[in-house]
Amino acid sequence: MKPVLEGTVALITGASSGIGAATASALAAQGATVALAARRRPQLEGLASEILESGGTALVIECDITDQEQAASAVDRTVAELGRLDTLVNNAGVMLLGPAADAPLDEWQRMVDLNVLGLLYCAHAALPHLRRAAAEDPRQVADMVNISSVAGRFARVGNGVYALTKFGVGAFSESLRQELAGQYVRVSLVEPGATATELASHNRPEVLEGLRGQFGLRMEAGDIADAISYIVTRPRHVAVNEMLIRPTEQQ
Ligand code: NDP
């Protein structure tokens, strides 16, 4: 049987590690040609080689999506080199935790720049292509999958600004979903709980110490990639609007 995503092109931001890398592999396994965007070229090239060895096609795009021009150029290169854009996975993100009082302001800036503005820049650049993909091909829909977090639903002590950015991703996604529903562009929100990736490692040592052992058994990046793959492989008349996924033990 033909792979469900054959003939489609997906751009995944933050594809150099964690959930983004696992998602790129999962979508490639479903037949999508994938564009891999992040700052670390060696990791992207390693993943592209793996995808190639498994019979897929991948394009490496080294970029910093907090720069509006680089975000737009990542979308433009995907369309120029791979011919179209059917799926955007807005995954790149950073989580810097700790009490708000005396928090380093640059950490807040980094989270807003990437989790909010970076996502918006990619969404803005991709929308004309997603709308065209959905309009042109009656067998397909186009998808934007935005990665939020459990923190996009529940703010807790120590995650205030991270939660602010992820609540914002949820608000933008729901508004855009309503705007595009009639145009066969599906906008989905994925809200993972604790997942074993590099995400927490960017925190200051004193914050990391506090996080140790907090979550018990975490999910794997592949568990979230499974969810994203499920969302984008639904038939044309089915739109999964939102998925909140926690490890079994997480409260
Ligand atoms: P990782 O730290 O493993 O991945 C983050 C990715 O973002 C990396 O590929 C990184 O690549 C990329 N990135 C960072 N800065 C930029 C930038 N300026 N431009 C382009 N890419 C950038 O973490 P996860 O895989 O866990 O995180 C993926 C998403 O999942 C995030 O949005 C996160 O908030 C969300 N999430 C994760 C949870 C978890 O427990 N792991 C729970 C809930 C949500 P590079 O450094 O090469 O640029």
Task: For 6-36, write each residue's pLDDT tens digit.
Answer: 999 999 999 999 999 999 999 999 999 999 9
> H or E segment at 11?
strand 9-13
Q: Are 78 and 59 in contact (CB under 8 A)?
A: yes
Q: Residues 65-113: pLDDT tens digits?
A: 999 999 999 999 999 999 999 999 999 999 999 999 999 999 999 999 9
The CA 39 to ligand 1 mean position distance, Å, reads 11
Neighbours of 135 (CB within 10 A): 12
pLDDT score of 220 more than 90:
yes
Q: What is the pLDDT of residue 133?
A: 87
Ligand 1 site, residue 14, Cβ cutoff 6 A: yes
Pocket test for ligand 1, best of 17, 64, 90, 188 (most atoms within 8 A of CB): 17
Distance of alpha carbon 9 from alpha carbon 98, whole angstroms: 38
pLDDT score of 213 more than 90:
no
Q: What is the pLDDT of residue 39?
A: 98
Q: What is the pLDDT of residue 31?
A: 97
Q: What is the pLDDT of residue 222?
A: 98
Q: What is the arithmetic mean of pLDDT over 33-58?
A: 98
Give the DSSP letter of residue 218.
Answer: P
Q: Residues 112-158: pLDDT tens digits?
A: 999 999 999 999 999 999 999 888 876 688 999 999 999 999 999 99
**Domain formed by 9-245, architecture:** 3-Layer(aba) Sandwich (3.40)
Compute the mean pLDDT over every residue in the chain, rounded to the nearest whole number: 96
The CA 212 to ligand 1 mean position distance, Å, reads 19
- Order of all β-strands in the sheet with 242-245: 58-62, 33-38, 9-13, 87-90, 142-147, 185-192, 242-245
Q: Which atom of ligand 1 is nearest to the CA of 22?
A: 25
Neighbours of 95 (CB within 10 A): 21
Which of the four pLDDT bands, split at 50, 70 and 90, describes residue 211? confident
Distance of alpha carbon 247 from alpha carbon 10, whole angstroms: 27
Considering the candidates 121, 162, 184, 230, report the single residue annotated as catalytic.
162
Ligand 1 site, residue 152, Cβ cutoff 6 A: no
Q: What is the pLDDT of residue 212?
A: 80
Q: Where are the domains of the chain?
A: 9-245
Q: What is the pLDDT of residue 140?
A: 80
Distance of alpha carbon 13 from alpha carbon 88, whole angstroms: 8
Residue type, 37: A
Active site residue 162: yes
pLDDT score of 176 more than 80:
yes
And the tokens for 196? 């074993």
And the tokens for 113? 């720049």
- Region class of 184: left (phi > 0), else alpha (psi between -120 and 50), else beta: left
Ligand 1 site, residue 90, Cβ cutoff 6 A: no
Task: Give the closest residue (by CA) to ligand 1 atom 2.
Answer: 199
Q: What is the pLDDT of residue 19?
A: 98
β-sheet bridge partners, residue 144: 88, 187
Which of the four pLDDT bands, split at 50, 70 and 90, describes residue 251? confident
DSSP string, 123-185: HHHHHHHHHHHHHH-TT--EEEEEE--GGGT---TT-HHHHHHHHHHHHHHHHHHHHHGGGTE
Q: What is the pLDDT of residue 137?
A: 78
Ligand 1 site, residue 93, Cβ cutoff 6 A: yes
Express as a percent the part of the chain with pLDDT over 70. Answer: 99
Which of the four pLDDT bands, split at 50, 70 and 90, describes residue 2? confident
